[in-house]
Amino acid sequence: MAKGRFDDPMTEYSRPGQPLAEIAAYDALAFLLEAGADEAIADEAVDRLRRIVAQPAESRSAPAMPGTPANRAMPVATSGAAEPPMAASEAVATARQMARAAGDLPALEVALAAFDGCALKSTATRLVFSDGVPGSRLMVIGEAPGRDEDIEGRPFVGRSGQLLDQMLKAIGLDRTTVYIANVVPWRPPGNRKPTAAEVTLCRPFLDRQIELAAPELILMLGGAATSALLSRDEGIMRLRGHFYEIGAGDRIIPAFASLHPAYLLRAPAEKKLAWRDFLAIKARLNQIAV
């Protein structure tokens, strides 16, 4: 195995005469940690639906919306990924009804917190709804909360958030002049990419969030957010640097695709592309203002 930051604990743990199988197990664990795993997901699927149904009604997080199917959790698949399609379509319908019923952003946040249709909620620490100022001219949309966001409850507060702040500052913006959200509001286990099913389940809330925040321009950060919002499967390198359109209620809002700050941290040479993108955003905002 290549020398990495988990080599030291390994030498600390392994003892002369320690069985090879044990050393191999530590080795595998070190590999998983290095790859970003930070949650243990059991081999057996957990039937969370049964657990929630078994709870007394008053102990559930929120009542189902009047006239809608029960607001319920989906069973978690072995991989920590999505759920059976039948239950998913019911959950999407519930999400649509709940999102539509929310008359403002605080009500939407309450509705989302009460929505048990997305399995990500059960592995995340908390809901990460938004940061910044609703009604700002620019709305920034990322992929999903990471570890820091999951702890703090605000989007983009970790290393990529710090880079995002610097990028916004470079075009004269900050968290008092933008509104920030994610395609999914709960952290996927181990920071994996949200599945298409999870994106679909959360989408009605995001659509309503965009509608209520009413930005003049949307900035989509990274391939996952861009593909989810545009329903396109080309890579981000093809999609970035261009304006698209997103429908929100009865409005069509221009949306620009750029690189995710987490990617820029891994590939700093690409910052020149992001800089070009951010200048295009600045120019467009100036144009809209005229």
CA distance 137 to 214: 8
Strand 178-182 with 131-132, pairing: antiparallel
Distances (CA, A) of 35 to 30, 64, 221, 263, 274: 9, 39, 23, 16, 26
Which range touches ligand URA (CB under 6 A), out of 1-9, 155-163, 208-216, 268-276? 155-163
Name which position in 182, 226, 227, 258 contacts ligand URA (CB under 6 A).
182
Specify the amino acid at residue 73.
A
Report if residue 160 touches ligand URA, rule: CB under 6 A: yes
- Compare residues 71 and 182 and give the one whose CB is closer to ligand URA: 182
Cβ 24 to ligand URA, closest distance in Å? 33
Taking CB under 6 A as the rule, does residue 143 contact ligand URA? Answer: yes
Residue 146 binds to ligand URA (criterion: CB under 6 A)? yes
Which one of residues 83, 116, 149, 207 is an interface residue with ligand URA (CB under 6 A)? 149
How would DSSP label each residue in 106-173? HHHHHHHHH---STHHHHSSS----EE-TT-SEEEEES---HHHHHHSSSS-SHHHHHHHHHHHHTT-
Asked if 156 is part of the footprint of ligand URA (rule: CB under 6 A), the reply reads yes
Q: Does 258 bind ligand URA (CB under 6 A)?
A: no
Look up residue 76 and give its DSSP letter.
B
| Token pair 């709804």: residue | 129
* 184 binds ligand URA per the rule CB under 6 A: no
**Tokens linked to 243:** 């304006």
HSE, side-chain direction, 13 A CA sphere, residue 58: 0
Q: Which residue has the tokens 């319908």?
A: 93
198 counts as binding ligand URA under rule CB under 6 A: no
# of chain residues touching ligand URA (CB under 6 A): 13
Candidates 142, 188, 204, 215; binder of ligand URA (CB under 6 A) is: 142
> Does residue 132 bind ligand URA (CB under 6 A)?
no
Q: Using CB under 6 A, list all residues that contact ligand URA.
A: 142-146, 149, 155-156, 158, 160-161, 182, 262
